[in-house]
Structure 1
Amino acid sequence: MAQLAKRPYLPALDIFRAFGILAVIMIHATSAVVANYDHKATLYPLYVFLNTFTKFAVPVFIFLSGFVLFYNYYNKPFTATAIGQFYKKRISKVLIPFILFSFLYFAFTRLAAYGFSDLQTFIGYFTTTKFLKMLIFGKTYVHLYFVVIIIQFYAISPLMLYAVNRFRKSSRHIVWIGLLVQWLFIFIIVREYHVVSPGSYAFTYMLYFTAGAFIGIYYEKFAEWINLTRKNATPAKIAASLVLWALFLSSNMTMVYFYYEKRLTGLSVINTSLLELIDEVRCVTAAIVLLQVSFWIYTSWNKMVVKALIHIGATSFGIYLVHPLILYLYRQTNASGSPILFHVWVAGGFLLALVIPWAIMALSAPFKWHWLLFGPLPTKKKQPASPIQPSIQG
């Protein structure tokens, strides 16, 4: 069978990434408020809504990883050279920045907690088994666990690509296989063996990765439905989109209601297993909704806004790594005063956690070794594909 040509670059995916990182920053910018603010305050429900509604962030990033990997590699020859190149790219893009930032955040937290007494004591923090365990599980700072999950998916992706290429019909069932693996891990292995921090394992997110992989494999079949316009809209496509959006909104609002009641009363109004199923519906539909919105924005919005969103998306990994430090430093400022000033302060944290890391990425891009800290950053324009149906040659 002839190999298909390289599939075109899809710039709308960077807009997808932009929404993902905006959701991440929203979660982190509102987390302290949700935990500590007066639960009876007028705007407290708004903070719970903003914090909970955006908690699809990690699953949709994992969905996108599956989409991109299988979109790019599904039809490529599966050779030792190809596998070597795959891991080489991932080491430079993710692993080295992760290790460096793990050291930086661990050093920062030690200094913040204990100060600096002498160099020997400071170096000693990094020679303990505690540090090694925290490094392996992405626990040197609260957000780095996500990078460990992505590394785990990169580790198993060549095996998954081999399986779906060796058994071509299995690609049709990859979502159900991913769902089964996720359920077995969450409902059986975690509970039976009392797994600590199940959110640090890729198996917890297998459904989202395989859902992205499925759409990446069959992108040409989904392209016109994802990029729904007046020209290609049919009653069936419109109905399917309405069902999709209804599921997304209803499942997400159910999650908001659950966490709001949990905060107010301390009681769980929904069974844990049922809540897991609702969350799975929320996250999968959120990913597809964001795909639709991203393609619509790319084709319909003001070019300057589109360009800005694409740049945010293209630098999202670096923004993700840096933004918690900005939030930490910002929260050292005094938020006391009138309620209005407090809400302005919270909004300022969100804006600065986005703008400052984004500016750092833009300023770092021209330097040759920026990838060591931030992974690849955009330095030149890529040739975009048609957002609807890229041409694929046999």
Structure 2
Amino acid sequence: MERRAKLNEIDIVRGIAILGVLMVHSTSFATIDMKNTTLFGVYNFLNIFSKIGTTSFILLSSFVLFYNYYPQPLTLQRFKKFYRNRLMYIIVPYLLFSMVYFVLRWYQNGFAWDLSQMWPSFWSKVSQGQAYTHLYFVFISIQLYLLFPVFLFLMKRYKWLAASAILIGVGLQWAFFLLNREYWQVTNRGSWSLSYFGHYFLGAWLGIYFDRIKGWLIIAKENLSATKIASWIALWAVWLGAGITYVTMFYNARLYQTRYSNALYDGVWDLYTMITPLVLIQIAFLIGGKMNTSFWVGRLRHLGIVSFGVYLVHPLVLLVYRQFPPNGGSTLIHHAWYAGGFLLALLISWVVVTALSRLTGWSWLLFGSVPNQLQAAYSDSNRVDKPSGKPAASA
């Protein structure tokens, strides 16, 4: 059975998502240190409205997996290759970067260099995705990769499960939220995949039925109709409303200590972060046709291709950068310093990941499949104008 058409626009969505991650991390200190400045509202907006990275990456990962694998027959060989690739391209980088960040944090805290203490602490943190603040996402991804063949088998076996995937995912996610709140009190709830089942199952549903629903999701001249335009306006209105509500809740909580229920936080966050990837997909398909002619769209796609490596590396840049905060000076200098953190985290990690991926044969140990994806993307771009009777490789 032929593979489905390649969707290069997904790389653009990844590019926007990693910009959100960088914005959140580069403004996190500012939401504390700049609380008494006139631009606190801007920092709060940038920090909260940009909380789209982890959830968008989870949805996109699920989307791509189900988009590629659902039409294919289930074979033992296919799943052996799947798990081998995930071991090489996800678990190995996770362990290496966990070790790097663990050692750095150990040094920062001034602990004794005693392996009998370090080794148990390291494995305890690795087993919970807590070796450094951002590595929980990779830990979640590993959990979801382990579960993927089970979900794929069930959805292929029982078509009603695939059709009901969104409702099932949201139901399981909220069952976890409520049971955890009342009974389990699991620490580090955000490090467990159940917290993102709504996003994951939405991605699965989109991947399975994308060929049927893209006419309703993708904004294009050939798709125009009054009903579709109304649905797009409604989607964007709900997205903006949920996002602004989420930003406002954090603004009030941070500035005025306003207290909201956990269920309200979870509900608004869930609505906002589940709709965001749909909006980003619409944006990506609107500008995707320019990825080979527009410098900025092309760079955004490139950033998306290397986003996994950028995600792993950028906290190192911020860690070093924050060792040199401005001593006194005007508020403008502090604003410039925070902006500089974002730009340097973006540019340095982007350049480092790209350079190592292109110039070395071992960079897969650090960045997983990024080197292969870069090579494939540039090979595809060289053939972009050549017509073909077959769809391109996987999304």
| TM-score of the two chains, using structure 1 as the length reference | 0.92
Shift in CA distance, 312/392, structure 1 to aligned 2, threshold 3 Å: closer
2:99–2:122 CA contact under 8 A, matched in 1:
no
3-state DSSP class of the match of 1:7?
A: coil
What one-letter code is carried by the residue in structure 2 that aligns with 1:285? I
How many pairs are equivalent? 380
1:62–1:150 CA contact under 8 A, matched in 2:
yes
Name the counterpart of 1:332.
Answer: 323
What one-letter code is carried by the residue in structure 2 that aligns with 1:154? Y
Equivalent residues in 2 for 1:146-157, closer than 5 Å: 146-157=137-148
Name the counterpart of 1:298.
Answer: 288
Tell me whether 1:363 sits opposite 2:359 in the alignment. no
In structure 2, how many angstroms separate the alpha carbons of the residues matched to 1:353 and 1:303? 24
What one-letter code is carried by the residue in structure 2 that aligns with 1:63? L
What one-letter code is carried by the residue in structure 2 that aligns with 1:281? L
Name the counterpart of 1:141.
Answer: 132
1:190–1:198 CA contact under 8 A, matched in 2:
no
Tell me whether 1:16 sits opposite 2:7 in the alignment. no
Bigger Cα displacement from structure 2, 244-253 vs 233-242:
233-242
Tell me whether 1:221 sits opposite 2:237 in the alignment. no
3-state DSSP class of the match of 2:375?
A: coil
Equivalent residues in 2 for 1:185-204, closer than 5 Å: 185-204=176-195
Name the counterpart of 1:87.
Answer: 83
In structure 1, how many angstroms separate the alpha carbons of the residues matched to 2:182 and 2:97? 32
The structural deviation recorded for 1:148 is 0.3
How far does the alpha carbon of each residue in 1:280-335 deviate from its partner, in whole angstroms, 9 at most, with x for none? 11011111001101111212575222221111001000000000010010011132
Equivalent residues in 2 for 1:1-394, closer than 5 Å: 4-37=1-34, 39-114=35-110, 121-128=113-120, 130-268=121-259, 270-300=260-290, 302-335=293-326, 336-366=328-358, 367-376=360-369, 377=371, 378-380=374-376, 381-383=378-380
The structural deviation recorded for 1:124 is 3.8
The structural deviation recorded for 1:264 is 1.1
How far does the alpha carbon of each residue in 1:327-373 deviate from its partner, in whole angstroms, 9 at most, with x for none? 01001113231111111111110001010010011111131111001
What one-letter code is carried by the residue in structure 2 that aligns with 1:62? I
3-state DSSP class of the match of 1:379?
A: helix
Shift in CA distance, 319/122, structure 1 to aligned 2, threshold 3 Å: farther
How far does the alpha carbon of each residue in 1:192-233 deviate from its partner, in whole angstroms, 9 at most, with x for none? 111111111000000000001101111111223333122321
| TM-score of the two chains, using structure 2 as the length reference | 0.92
The structural deviation recorded for 1:391 is 7.2
2:90–2:368 CA contact under 8 A, matched in 1:
yes
What one-letter code is carried by the residue in structure 1 that aligns with 2:27? T
1:9–1:383 CA contact under 8 A, matched in 2:
no
What one-letter code is carried by the residue in structure 1 that aligns with 2:131? T
Percent of aligned positions that are identical: 34
RMSD: 2.0
1:131–1:140 CA contact under 8 A, matched in 2:
yes
